[in-house]
């Protein structure tokens, strides 16, 4: 498809640019032009009047567990350990791969309503999640979730080879669930894989105080120090959550160029704590943003996460100037893409993949137009998302999904699954 967006306020997110008025041209999966209107010989399949609204790169959800949609609102308002042991784990044990496929589609739909164009996903069966994304036309980076109870080094290596050559929208990254669920032997094996393929590794890291204390009890070092010592981070990667980080942990992240993915909605709802986002940024650590899974958040909405990132930093630092809106937007778009190894859909420029969203400014929450970036971060909402495009295809427009399946069928299946395994 050849698609011309005109009459747009373009927020390309390219370093040093602000809002530019003009056009963006898409051919196949690529952006082929960004700039002022000019003549073209192209025969357009569609010419879309953006009506002065914002056209920007899609948000990147840099940590989630998409298939956990079935547990949304199933067991909230409970202490964390009861929630995990009495509700989450027993229910997860009943899921089939087919269930995970359908449940992931429900999450993809929600990402699209929030202008999200890619997810960094960790779950029991990454192949099902990959298939759901590919079938919807959505971009997904899968992360290994190996631990003492599921997946294995062999599986990780197999997926690394197969899923990175599986579909243009799918890639795979080495990972483990977390230090506290994974033996030293498995972590050492993961380090060998990272070295063998010169590849980055991601894990849940320092999400709770107890996790860090227990690791210190076991190894006399923090999770970050241990993982670094084992060589797991020698080719990059990073941590999900990163709530309890020591100064030494942050030094390791900076020195090794690791990404910290913050998950403020989940950390808030599970009472885990507030990540030191301002301090990480000041130390030069690239911070990205994830929703975490729908069982712990419970929504998959980058607008909520963006407000929380800056709001919680302001609370934590007692400083209303901490972590400003431009910084947050960069985290939600560019840093997220880079954390996921996606360097071809991070900004809106010629040659990049057309992964983008249109945000409606003709809504009361986006008026007046004092500062559009701040409007997006501080008062933006899913209500403002009028179009989401991935890889040059419009997957969501004016409330209608184009993912190859009827929404009501996806909802019905999710309800059937929870009824069956409840």
User: Looking only at residues 285 through 344 of this chain, which bind its own copies when binding is defined by CB under 8 A?
Assistant: 294, 297-301, 304, 307, 310-312, 314-315, 317-322, 324-325
Taking the C-alpha atoms of residue 359 and residue 285, their distance in angstroms, rounded to an integer, is: 29
Q: Give the SS3 label for residue 2.
A: strand
Give the number of other CB atoms < 10 A from CB of residue 148.
13
- Cβ pair 146, 175 in contact under 8 A: yes
Q: Taking CB under 8 A as the rule, does residue 27 contact its own copies?
A: no
Closest CA to 163 of 152, 153, 174: 174
Residue number, 43 or 321, with CB nearest to its own copies: 321
- For residue 275, the minimal CB distance to its own copies (Å) is 12
**Is residue 349 classed exposed, middle or buried when 0-12, 13-18 and 19+ CB atoms within 10 A define those classes?**
middle
- For residue 167, the minimal CB distance to its own copies (Å) is 22
Contact pattern for its own copies over residues 241 through 280, marking x by CB under 8 A: ------------------------x-xxxxx-xx------
Alpha carbon distances (Å) from 176 to 145, 156, 238, 287: 4, 9, 11, 20
Taking the C-alpha atoms of residue 118 and residue 130, their distance in angstroms, rounded to an integer, is: 12
Q: Which of 18, 28, 37, 79 binds its own copies (CB under 8 A)?
A: 79
- For residue 30, the minimal CB distance to its own copies (Å) is 28
Taking the C-alpha atoms of residue 235 and residue 78, their distance in angstroms, rounded to an integer, is: 38
Q: Taking CB under 8 A as the rule, does residue 364 contact its own copies?
A: yes
Alpha carbon distances (Å) from 233 to 73, 99, 130: 35, 33, 25
Contact pattern for its own copies over residues 150 through 189, marking x by CB under 8 A: ----------------------------------------
- For residue 312, the minimal CB distance to its own copies (Å) is 7
- For residue 163, the minimal CB distance to its own copies (Å) is 25
**The two structure tokens encoding residue 246:** 């020591």
Contact pattern for its own copies over residues 109 through 148, marking x by CB under 8 A: xx--x-----------------------------------
- For residue 422, the minimal CB distance to its own copies (Å) is 9
270 forms beta bridges with none
State the virtual CA torsion across 106, 170, 394, 359 in degrees, nearest 10: 80
Q: Give the SS3 label for residue 196.
A: helix
- For residue 65, the minimal CB distance to its own copies (Å) is 15
Q: Taking CB under 8 A as the rule, does residue 400 contact its own copies?
A: no
Q: Taking CB under 8 A as the rule, does residue 61 contact its own copies?
A: no
Q: Which of 21, 46, 49, 80 binds its own copies (CB under 8 A)?
A: 80
């Amino acid at each position: 498809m050849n698609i011309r967006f005109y009459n747009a306020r373009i927020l390309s997110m390219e370093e040093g640019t602000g809002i530019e008025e003009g056009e963006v041209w898409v051919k196949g999966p690529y952006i082929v032009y960004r700039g002022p209107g000019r003549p073209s010989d192209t025969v357009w399949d569609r010419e879309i009047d953006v009506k002065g609204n914002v056209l920007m790169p899609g948000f990147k959800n840099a940590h989630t567990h998409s298939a956990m949609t079935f547990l949304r609102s199933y067991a909230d308002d409970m202490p964390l350990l009861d929630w995990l042991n009495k509700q989450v784990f027993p229910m997860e044990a009943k899921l089939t791969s087919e269930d995970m496929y359908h449940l992931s589609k429900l999450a993809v739909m929600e990402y699209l309503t929030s202008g999200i164009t890619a997810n960094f996903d960790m779950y029991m069966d990454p192949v099902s999640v990959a298939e759901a994304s590919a079938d919807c036309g959505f971009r997904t980076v899968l992360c290994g979730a190996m631990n003492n109870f599921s997946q294995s080094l062999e599986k990780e290596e197999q997926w690394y080879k197969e899923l990175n050559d599986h579909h243009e929208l799918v890639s795979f990254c080495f990972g483990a669930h977390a230090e506290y669920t994974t033996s030293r032997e498995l972590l050492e094996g993961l380090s060998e894989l990272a070295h063998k393929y010169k590849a980055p590794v991601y894990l849940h890291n320092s999400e709770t105080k107890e996790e860090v204390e227990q690791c210190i009890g076991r190894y006399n070092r923090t999770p970050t120090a241990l993982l670094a010592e084992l060589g797991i981070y020698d080719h990059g990667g990073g941590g999900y959550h990163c709530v309890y980080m020591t100064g030494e942990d942050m030094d390791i992240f900076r020195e090794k160029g690791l990404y910290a993915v913050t998950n403020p909605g989940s950390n808030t709802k599970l009472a885990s704590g507030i990540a030191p986002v301002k301090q990480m940024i000041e130390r030069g650590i690239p911070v990205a943003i994830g929703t975490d899974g729908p069982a712990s958040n419970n929504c998959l909405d980058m607008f909520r996460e963006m407000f929380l990132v800056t709001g919680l930093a302001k609370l934590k630092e007692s400083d209303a100037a901490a972590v400003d809106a431009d910084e947050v937007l960069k985290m939600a778009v560019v840093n997220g893409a880079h954390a996921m190894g996606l360097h071809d859909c991070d900004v809106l420029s010629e040659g990049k993949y057309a992964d983008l969203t249109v945000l409606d400014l003709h809504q009361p929450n986006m008026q007046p137009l004092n500062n559009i970036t701040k409007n997006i971060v501080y008062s933006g909402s899913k209500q403002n998302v009028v179009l989401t495009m991935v890889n040059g295809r419009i997957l969501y427009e004016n409330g209608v999904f184009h993912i190859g399946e009827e929404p009501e069928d996806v909802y019905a299946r999710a309800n059937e699954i929870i009824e069956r395994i409840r």
